[in-house]
Amino acid sequence: MAGTVRTAVVGASGYIGVETLRLLHRHPGVTLIAITSERYAEKAVGEAFPALAGLFPGLVFRKLDPAALAEVELVFLALPHKESMEVVPDLRKAGKRVVDLSADYRLHDWRAYEEWYGVPHTSKELLAEAVYGLPELHRDAIMTAGLVAVPGCYPTGAILALAPLLAHRLIDEQGIIVDAKTGISGAGRKPDLPYPFPEANEGVTPYGVPRHRHLPEMEQELSALAGIPLAVSFVPHLTPMTRGILTTAYAPLHGPAEQAALLDLYREYYRGAPFVRVSAALPSTRNVLASNYCDVSVRVDPRTRRVIALSAIDNLVKGGAGQGVQDMNLMCGSEETLGLEGAPVFP
């Protein structure tokens, strides 16, 4: 990377925004020149977030004003869906490259967006240029993109668990079931807590059954891999942990499959994907915490002739901010791993 990229984080006071700050702090290719928050406008970073005290000298939250981002080259948007598409058109007109962490540009078909998100899509003209920011599938397109839509957290885990099976036509495409467990930070840092501690702790709760908003995104990408339209059954669960998503996906096999051969096929598929760690060992959210890794494994169940594919990610890193930084690295012609080399936190 020649010089550093002048960057802003919009929506920097949410969980994804703060995680983006944490990752950019140690990124050698970035100069962070602007951060926005309505709630903390005019406060210094350390004042609003004592965890980051002293790490961003002189940086102060400002209210969002696209006109105030004139000096910025690349903008991370960590806003709720619907808010992103209010600002992306102006940013693109001003020539800014955009890494959008919301759902606004992930679906190629605006009709699907309107059906699943229940609001009009007001920026349809930019959907054709938006690239789905999963580097393991779309690395080349991301490198030249002006607008990258960072995948949702659940789709990241599900797609990376299933991609090799679909790409090699090994499973019945219409028989896929995805079960996932998330930490509570997946719901964001709303002023009114959506899940108060006494109601979220010591329990596991399914939600969004059978129509969670991440389904059309999973189906868009898995269908492209399969080469035919497919539908997925998906059940997410809220679990009493702060970060992490464990995904367990089940699918009927077309024919007999050897466990060792499947693992080799996964290793080959993800050769050159620095953040996917394929292993015979079953993944755990514990082993990827605060890192950009996605741990993947696959097991054959000969009794039921099904395959079980599993993945673990940190929803705020590979499921969000880390993947956004990985996309930025590719967009800027930098090493894909730059600033993301940190080991997971253990225990």
Q: Which is nearer to ligand NAP, 253 or 318 (CB)?
A: 318
> Which DSSP category does 1 fall into?
-
Q: With beta carbons less than 8 A apart as the criterion, state whether 154 and 235 touch.
A: no
- Is residue 153 within the footprint of ligand NAP (CB under 6 A)? yes
DSSP string, 173-194: GGG-EEEEEE-GGGG---SS-S
Residues 233 and 64: their CA atoms lie apart, in Å, by 38
Task: Pick between residue 155 and residue 164 the one whose CB is nearest to ligand NAP.
Answer: 155
45 counts as binding ligand NAP under rule CB under 6 A: no
Q: State which of residues 32, 85, 101, 296 lies at the interface with ligand NAP (CB under 6 A).
A: 101
Q: How far is CA 145 from CA 82, 325, 333, 344, in A?
A: 21, 14, 11, 29
Query: For residues 231 and 220, is the Cβ–Cβ distance under 8 A?
Result: no
Scanning 7-15, 132-140, 266-274, 277-285 for contacts with ligand NAP by CB under 6 A, the matching segment is: 7-15
- Decide if 155 contacts 225 (C-beta within 8 A): no
Instruction: Identify which of residues 12 and 171 has a Cβ nearer to ligand NAP in the complex.
Output: 12
Which residue from 62, 63, 58, 73 is spatially nearest to 7, judged by alpha carbons? 73
Residue 193 interacts with ligand NAP (CB under 6 A)?
A: no
83 contributes a contact to ligand NAP by CB under 6 A:
yes
Which residues partner with 296 through β-bridges?
A: 278, 311
Check binding of 59 to ligand NAP (CB under 6 A): no
Q: Which of 139, 189, 299, 306 binds ligand NAP (CB under 6 A)?
A: 189
Q: Is 16 in the site for ligand NAP (CB under 6 A)?
A: yes
Q: Give the chain's length.
A: 347
Rounded to an integer, what distance in angstroms lies between the CA atom of residue 227 and that of residue 33? 43
- Residue 133, interface with ligand NAP (CB under 6 A)? no
**Is 13 among the residues that bind ligand NAP (CB under 6 A)?**
yes
- Between residues 13 and 297, which has the closer beta carbon with respect to ligand NAP? 13
Residue 30 or 87 having the CB closest to ligand NAP:
87
- Catalytic site residue 153? yes
Per CB under 6 A, residues contacting ligand NAP are 11-17, 37-40, 64, 78-81, 83, 101-103, 152-153, 185-186, 188-190, 315-316, 319-320
